[in-house]
Amino acid sequence: MKSVTVLASGRGSNFQAIIDAVSTGELRVECAGLITDNPEAYAIERARAARIPVSIVDYHRYPGKGEYEKALREAMEATAADLYVLAGYMRILGTGIVRHFPGRIINIHPALLPSFPGLHAQSQAIGYGAKVAGCTVHFVNEEMDAGPIIVQECVRVLEDDTEETLAERILEREHKCLPRAIQMFCDGRLRIEGRRVRITGSG
- Candidate list 100, 109, 138, 175, residue with the active-site label: 109
Cα 51–Cα 56–Cα 61 angle in degrees, nearest 5: 165
pLDDT at residue 201 in the model: 87
Mean pLDDT of 105-129: 98
In 3D, which of 175, 146, 131, 195 has the Cα closest to residue 17? Answer: 175
What are the φ and ψ backbone dihedral angles of 161, each rounded to 5 degrees? Answer: -65, 140
Name the pTM for this structure: 0.96
Q: What is the pLDDT of residue 58?
A: 97
Residues whose CB is less than 8 angstroms from the CB of residue 93 and which lie 6 or more positions away in sequence, other chains included? 69, 86, 105, 140
- Domains with residue ranges and CATH for the chain: 3-199 (3.40.50.170)
pLDDT of residue 203: 60
CA 3 to chain CA centroid, Å, is 15
175 is catalytic: no
The residue among 200 and 202 whose pLDDT is bigger is 200
